[in-house]
Amino acid sequence: MHIRISRRTIVAGLAALPVAIRVPALARAAPITAPVPVNPLVRQRADAQVMRHTDGWYYMIGSVPEYDRLALRRSRTLAGLSTATEAVLWRHQTRGPLSGFIWAPELHLVDGRWTIYFAAGPSGGGQDVFRIRTYAVTCDGPDPMTGRWTLLGQLQTPWDSFTLDSTSFVHRGQRYLCWAQREPGIDTNSNLYLAPLASALTLARPPARLSVPTLGWEVQGYKVNEAPAVLERNGRLFLTYSASATDARYCMGMLTCSADADIMAPANWAKSPVPVFATAAATGVFGPGHNSFTVDESGRDVLVYHGRDYDKIQGDPLLDPNRHTRMQRIYYRADGTPDFGIPVGNGPVPDRLSPIDQPGRFIVVTGDAVAIGDGPIAATQFRTMPSGRSHTANALTPITRPDLRVSDQPGTAVQLVAATARTGFHQIEGLAGTGVSFRSAGAPGAFLRVVGNRLDIGPARSPAERRAATFAMT
């Protein structure tokens, strides 16, 4: 969200993969796992937060296009969130400071009580409808879907100013709140602040100002740092945030701090000099941002964010309802920092395929062919789509080239062919007793195999050939 002052306009664990049972590979299909989420996961839900609670449920909350209510859904699987029933927990009031827009809610369990932080303003009638402040509601029972929600109050910060996008996390036994606020005396729309909590709405000490938008990509249209989200991995805290206007220029930045350092010392946080996640015309996702973090059913880290399917917007971007909730897996570089790649586009969440004998290398797009190597995350992500070959075969499609598919025909090297071609694979349990293998739908008895640095389609009879035809799916 952003604000234009002149107009007062404001513009969200378990194992990497199931281990295949050692049975004859051709006798069984691949192990049944959780359904694959399909993007957009939920249409017209911006600022989405997805959390997996200890009760085994995934909970999702976000801004609705009407900005008038708090609506929560839950599912046993990530994919199930797309069709899960939504419960309206709380609506804006009929008058007063919470009678207007409701922005960017987040669900947390604070001091044993379900709590939702959100931003709200009055409804007009002579009042400033963009006088946005942060509030919280709490639930009177253990089930947030059925409990009674009541207003707890307003977040108390040092300044009575534009405040939104609160997130909460626990580090070393202390609960913290991180949020966006316009600080008097600083010529920005919003900066990022952090403080330990004494209670759900009371800070235990004065806040630390972690980030001010100063870089070129943070001030496109508006000077914005907002929507913080925290991921603690590999001995560090990674704090992502969103910047610039909420059109196609919206993007994500990241601050990094050692988990052993004093996280209240701004000097201990390093800002990425470039966006870590931004518009990708190649995949058709524009203005990705306001993210949250969760894990999939196998415990793998997942990025949740919103983005549009188009870049041309009529009028105020915040009045355009089509910021859809999306998700994709997070990967890590050798130094332990997250690599978010690019927005993966519409369709099933893609995978990376790594030969089991070559960890750290993947099937990668190279021009009109595929090979084994490394490269940008986006060049190594493939999704499975209906093939047209048979009702049980799927095509492997590069996310950056949705017009192409991996050929299933034997030859000197595997090529990428037009999406209209009849080509596909039967995904089965890995021939080497782990991972997965891909049997050609067009050449019975032939498999996608690794031969040195290239791929071919051929038999998998010997132990060496069976290993060459087995991949880890990540």
DSSP letter, residue 247: S
Both tokens of 409, joined, read 């025909």
Query: Could you identify the residue written with the tokens 């880290």?
Result: 301
Helix (H) / strand (E) element for 466: namely helix 463-468
The yes-or-no answer on residue 47 being catalytic is: yes
Gap between the Cα atoms of 150 and 165, Å rounded: 20
Tens digit of each residue's pLDDT (9 = 90 or more) over 109-151 = 999 999 999 999 999 877 888 899 999 999 999 999 999 999 9
The pLDDT of residue 15 is above 70? no
Helices (H), 13-65: none
Q: Which of 454, 450, 459, 473 is nearest to 384 (CA)?
A: 473
Q: Which of 465, 318, 308, 241 is nearest to 10 (CA)?
A: 318
Q: Exposure string (b/e) for 427-460, b if CB count within 10 Å is 16 or more?
A: bbbbbbbbbbbbbbbbeeebbbbbeeebbbbbeb
| C-beta of residue 13 within 8 angstroms of C-beta of residue 233 | no
Query: Could you identify the residue written with the tokens 């009371």?
Result: 202
The pLDDT of residue 373 is above 90? yes
Q: Could you please report the per-residue DSSP string of 72-106? A: EEEESSTGGGGTPPEEEEEE--SSSTTSS-EEEEE
| 102-110: strand order across its sheet | 102-110, 113-120, 133-139, 149-154
Q: What is the pLDDT of residue 130?
A: 86
Question: Bigger pLDDT: 412 or 328?
Answer: 328
Both tokens of 354, joined, read 């790594």
Lowest mean pLDDT among 6-15, 205-214, 314-323, 388-397: 6-15
Mean pLDDT of 147-175: 98
Q: What is the pLDDT of residue 31?
A: 40
DSSP letter, residue 274: S
Q: What is the pLDDT of residue 28?
A: 36
Q: Which of 98, 55, 49 is nearest to 71 (CA)?
A: 49
Neighbours of 180 (CB within 10 A): 28
Gap between the Cα atoms of 8 and 363, Å rounded: 50
The pLDDT of residue 178 is above 80? yes
The pLDDT of residue 18 is above 60? no
Q: What is the pLDDT of residue 125?
A: 75
Neighbours of 72 (CB within 10 A): 23
* Domains identified in the chain and CATH numbers: 34-346 (2.115.10.20), 353-473 (2.80.10.50)
Q: Which of 20, 1, 3, 42 is nearest to 356 (CA)?
A: 20
Both tokens of 59, joined, read 């909970």
Classify 300 as helix, strand or coil.
coil
Q: Which long-range contacts (CB under 8 A, 24 or more apart) does 390-395 make?
A: 390/424, 390/441, 392/426, 393/424, 393/425, 393/426, 393/441, 394/424, 394/425, 394/426, 394/427, 395/419, 395/423, 395/424, 395/425
Provide the pLDDT confidence category of residue 20 given band limits of 50, 70 and 90: very low
Helix (H) / strand (E) element for 464: namely helix 463-468
Q: Which of 126, 120, 121, 84 is nearest to 105 (CA)?
A: 120
Among 47, 106, 296, 351, the one annotated catalytic: 47
Residue 296 neighbours by CB under 8 Å, 6+ apart: 34, 78, 302, 329
Gap between the Cα atoms of 64 and 42, Å rounded: 11
Tens digit of each residue's pLDDT (9 = 90 or more) over 24-75 = 233 333 344 799 999 999 999 999 999 999 999 999 999 999 999 999 999 9
Tens digit of each residue's pLDDT (9 = 90 or more) over 261-297 = 999 999 999 999 999 999 999 999 999 999 999 999 9
Residue 396's Cβ-side half-sphere holds a number of Cα atoms within 13 Å equal to 28
User: Mean pLDDT across the chain, nearest whole number?
Assistant: 92
Q: What is the pLDDT of residue 19?
A: 30
Gap between the Cα atoms of 399 and 376, Å rounded: 12
Q: What is the pLDDT of residue 386?
A: 85
Among 226, 296, 297, 408, the one annotated catalytic: 226
Query: Could you identify the residue written with the tokens 């859809």?
Result: 324
Mean pLDDT of 368-376: 92
Instruction: Please provide residue 439's backbone torsions phi and psi, each rounded to the nearest 5 degrees.
Output: -90, 130
- State percent of the chain over pLDDT 70: 93
Query: Could you identify the residue written with the tokens 């350092």?
Result: 261
The pLDDT of residue 16 is above 90? no
Tens digit of each residue's pLDDT (9 = 90 or more) over 256-270 = 999 999 999 999 999
Gap between the Cα atoms of 125 and 102, Å rounded: 17
The pLDDT of residue 97 is above 60? yes
Lowest mean pLDDT among 103-107, 120-124, 219-223, 352-356: 120-124
Both tokens of 128, joined, read 């400033």
Gap between the Cα atoms of 371 and 362, Å rounded: 8
The yes-or-no answer on residue 320 being catalytic is: no
Mean pLDDT of 236-244: 98
DSSP letter, residue 391: T
Gap between the Cα atoms of 217 and 108, Å rounded: 31
Provide the pLDDT confidence category of residue 1 given band limits of 50, 70 and 90: very low
Q: Provide the β-strand partners of residue 301.
A: 295
Gap between the Cα atoms of 93 and 69, Å rounded: 10
